[in-house]
Amino acid sequence: MAAILISGIAGGLAQRTARRLLAAGHRVVGVDYRELRTPLPPELAGLEVYRAHYNKTVIEDVFKHHAFDSVLHLGRAGNLKESAGKRFDLNVVGSQKIMNLCVQHRVKRLVVLSTFHIYGAHPSNHIPIAEDEPLRAGLEFPQIADAIQMDNMATTWVYRHPEVKTVILRATNIVGPTVKNTMSEFLRLRHVPYLLGFNPMSQFVHEDDMARAVIAAWEGDFVGIYNVASTAVIPWRTALELARAITFPVPAPIASVFMRAAGNFPQYLINFFRYPCVITDRAFQKVSGWTPSLSAEQTLWSTVEKARTLQ
């Protein structure tokens, strides 16, 4: 039985991951800077939870009171409603603190969740994008700078601290019924816009498949940076059809203003509705044996089904 710390435990992905680990008999502790909804479902019985900012002293006490074998750092703050300073403190300073504590307390295994957004959507992107491609996102949009810096820091960590076997997962769009990230909430809108004249290829991975990917990275005997994608690569407007959304076109020149008004949609993500950012996870599937189990249709419909019944 392993003792595992999961950050970001207020989120759907972290809870899906925790359920699987608890069911397998492991001891799981969760931490998050956000408040966790209670009561917890029966599947999370036995989960011990702390509320703490990742860069504060409380997180040190969590490590002192538990002898963790592994840490699954799934708590990247991607909500742009948070100030840039708070995101930097959580994603960069907080991640560095967690990684330092892993060394200090002799944690054997660390999994860090990053994002494919750091590659950026750009007309010059290769298709598909492998892990050694340049990170274009920060060139135009500073909103993603903290995510890029966190990923770069973790990448350096892999080689500076070989005593902590570290895996960084650059995941495509994670969606699902309990995920409340920007893409999932956008798909749940009844009327979903698309950019007139654009229909880029897109990828989505279901939260259950992503939870299995996190566990596969934790269980494996490998280190490094790995993309996590899905079997299906589909046009954006096909994705909206599978989500049974009512769609309407928006001229590209006014997209930024319109998207912000429609749902506080971050500007850097608008380029993902213009240009493809298709990643390959061939390397991860090879070393881990993981493959996604849900189709694009199952993935997208499960994400929006509850919202559609209420609309």
pLDDT at 90: 80
* 102-133 pLDDT per residue, tens: 999 999 999 999 999 999 988 888 899 999 99
Single-letter code of the amino acid located at 222: F
Residue 35 CB neighbour total at 10 angstroms: 8
249 three-class SS? strand
- How buried is 155 (Cβ within 10 angstroms: 0-12 exposed, 13-18 middle, 19+ buried)? middle
* Domains in the chain: boundaries: 3-310
User: For position 231, what pLDDT does the model report?
Assistant: 80
In this prediction, residue 124 carries a pLDDT of 85
Residues in the chain: 311
Q: What pLDDT is stored for residue 154 in this prediction? A: 94
Q: Which residues pair with 201 in a beta bridge?
A: 235
The span from the CA of 126 to the CA of 135, in Å, is 12
Which of 205, 285, 166, 216 is CA-nearest to residue 20?
A: 216
Name which of 142, 116, 141, 143 is nearest 130 in CA terms. Answer: 116
Q: Which CATH class is domain 3-310?
A: alpha beta
Q: Would the pTM count as exceeding 0.75?
A: yes
- Please tell me the predicted confidence (pLDDT) of residue 78: 65
Residues of the chain with pLDDT under 70: 78-84, 138-142, 259-265
